[in-house]
Amino acid sequence: MYILSCIKIQTMKSTAIFCTLTLGLISLGISARAQETASATATATIVTPIAITKDVDMNFGILSVQSTTGGTVVLTPAGVRSATGGVTLPADNGTVTAASFTVTGVAGYGYTITLPSSALTITSGSNTMTVTNFTSDPSGANGTLTGGTETLNVGATLNVSAAQPAGTYVSGTPFNVTVNYN
């Protein structure tokens, strides 16, 4: 019986060692399968920078003002002007033009338009007037580069004082129009 017990113990020890080794090998297989790897690529697209160039300066043309009442000249982005208050527009307009710019970039891309938000002062000697309320066509704050280019026209309002002295008034510094891709 002692021999049978020894064989049983020996067999149990062998079985225990066998089971331990088997579990160890299985756990190695499981842990190796628990980790997987996948690959991805990185991509970036560089687009042509958006650009803006001035084609035509803004010109309110010839106007006159009463000595007692000032007013305004509203110049639309289409280059059409109208007067309010004591300002009159003579038959001889002189040169009347809205400012015009060419915007270029990637065809089909949208862009934002930033117009001056503060008054622009124009001077003739020591005399001044202000230009305010800038507007654009395309209207609002957005445009689209159809075919990679678009014309951007800008109008504004000229504020004329009563008895504004005669002269040719010009801005000392240009006004800025900024465009940026959406």
Q: Return the sign of the alpha-carbon dihedral for residues 22, 26, 27, 32.
A: positive
Cβ neighbours, 10 Å, residue 131: 21
Per-residue pLDDT, 2: 46
Tens of pLDDT along the chain (182 residues) come to: 444 444 455 555 666 666 665 656 555 555 556 789 999 999 999 999 999 999 999 999 999 999 899 999 999 999 999 999 999 999 999 999 999 999 999 999 999 999 999 999 999 999 999 999 999 999 878 999 999 999 999 999 999 999 999 999 999 999 999 999 99
On whether the CB atoms of residues 150 and 144 are closer than 8 A, the answer is yes
Per-residue pLDDT, 6: 45
Question: Three-state SS for 110?
Answer: strand
Beta strands 127-137 and 149-160: pairing type? antiparallel
Per-residue pLDDT, 34: 79
Helix residue ranges, H only, the chain: 2-33
d(CA 48, CA 86): 49
Q: What is the DSSP letter of 97?
A: B
Per-residue pLDDT, 5: 47
**CA-closest candidate to residue 73, choices 101, 102, 94:** 94
Question: pTM score, two decimals?
Answer: 0.78
Per-residue pLDDT, 100: 98
Q: Which fold has domain 51-181?
A: Immunoglobulin-like (2.60.40)
